[in-house]
């Protein structure tokens, strides 16, 4: 494992959806999430982290040090027990070796090293705050939630044979462009998890490609459109994060017509950033 990162970063990710549901709300019949006061669409940070995790698991597979802690079908206490087994400690021990269990988890699980984790369950491995944090993504314009009725030329139960077909629903957004913002702390990488330059490169790849291997009929056409990275030349940074986020502006240029493609927007990245900050565009 290479050394922890030495620079602070902020980033802005723009992604869009066409005829799909980027993040359904189970409390609202799986309708696309929305801010009820403004009508803008929302995609949670948890949703985006899930897709990054899935991408890393896909490209790294069984590579040591890149296991995924939070994934489908996994019992977290069993993940914790791997640290106890490696260190030869009884999981029932009330006083495990201070820090060694958490260090094992950081070294072996990419998502803990990146996003952190609370591992204070029955099999206690401590907790750690990750250097990479994301905000909720929010759509540039208010979204139009749409529920479309669909039919299936088959039935599930014999008692419905005479119906000949069954009805269903799909929840979609015709089109929306979303903006997510995030932070990467060199201080936390060095102090807590050991998040490295290799991890950072993999994380950028994950943001760019996470939708390419996650297609489904319900999600529609999801695409990463632009990733703007601000790299500070020091671990503590050269300015406040909001100053850099304000350098990325998105303007709708479709007039009175509702947006239906990325071409309906104009993205501008100002180059007059504070001294000590480098602007990197991945898309």
Q: What are phi and psi of 98, to 5 degrees?
A: -60, 120
pLDDT digits (tens, 9 = 90+) for 107-161: 999 999 999 999 999 899 999 999 999 999 999 999 999 999 988 888 888 887 7
* Average pLDDT estimate for 257-276: 96
Q: Is 33 helix (H, G, I), strand (E, B) or coil?
A: coil
Give me the sign of the Cα torsion angle 100, 104, 107, 109: negative
Is there a contact between 57 and 49 (Cβ–Cβ < 8 Å)? no
Q: What would the mean pLDDT of 198-227 be, rounded to a whole number?
A: 95
| 159 or 183: which leads in pLDDT | 183
Handedness of CA 236, 238, 240, 245 (dihedral sign): negative
pLDDT tens sequence across 23-42? 999 999 999 999 999 999 99
Q: Is the pLDDT of residue 95 over 60?
A: no
Q: What pairs with residue 40 in β-bridges?
A: 142
The strand pair at 221-232 and 24-25 is best described as unpaired
Domain spans, the chain = 9-160+168-281
What is the pLDDT, as a whole number, of residue 97? Answer: 64
Residues contacting 225, CB < 8 A, separation 6+: 14, 15, 16, 177, 262, 267, 283
| Confidence grade of residue 92 (pLDDT, cut at 50, 70, 90) | confident
According to the model, what pLDDT value does residue 168 have? 83
Mean pLDDT of the region 97-116 = 92
pLDDT digit string, tens, across residues 30-82: 999 999 999 999 999 999 999 999 999 999 988 999 999 999 999 999 999 99
pTM, full prediction: 0.94
**Listed residue (120, 122, 72, 126) closest to 104, CA to CA:** 126
Six-digit token string for 55: 């991408």
């Amino acid at each position: 494992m290479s050394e922890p990162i030495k620079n602070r970063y902020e980033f802005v990710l723009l992604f869009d959806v066409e005829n799909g549901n980027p993040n359904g709300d189970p409390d609202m019949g799986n309708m696309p999430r929305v801010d009820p006061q403004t009508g803008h669409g929302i995609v949670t940070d948890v949703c985006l982290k899930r897709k990054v995790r899935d991408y890393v698991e896909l490209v790294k597979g069984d590579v040591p040090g890149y296991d995924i802690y939070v994934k489908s079908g996994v019992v977290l206490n069993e993940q914790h027990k791997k640290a106890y087994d490696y260190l030869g400690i009884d999981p029932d021990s009330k006083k495990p070796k201070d820090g060694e269990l958490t260090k094992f988890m950081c070294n072996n699980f990419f998502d803990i090293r990146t996003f952190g984790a609370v591992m204070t369950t029955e099999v206690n491995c401590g907790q750690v705050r990750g250097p990479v944090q994301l905000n909720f993504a929010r759509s540039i314009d208010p979204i139009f939630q749409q529920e479309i009725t669909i039919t299936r030329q088959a039935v599930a139960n014999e008692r419905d044979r005479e119906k000949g077909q069954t009805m269903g629903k799909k929840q979609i957004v015709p089109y929306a462009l979303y903006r997510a913002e995030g932070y990467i702390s060199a201080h936390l990488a060095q102090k807590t998890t050991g998040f490295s330059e290799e991890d950072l490169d993999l994380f950028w790849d994950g943001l760019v490609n996470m939708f390419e291997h996650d297609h489904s009929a319900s999600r529609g056409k999801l695409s990463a459109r632009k990733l703007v990275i601000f790299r500070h030349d020091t671990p503590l940074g050269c300015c406040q994060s909001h100053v850099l986020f304000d350098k990325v502006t998105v303007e709708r240029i479709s007039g009175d017509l509702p947006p239906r493609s990325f071409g309906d927007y104009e993205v501008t990245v100002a180059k007059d950033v504070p001294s000590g900050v480098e602007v990197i565009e991945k898309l």
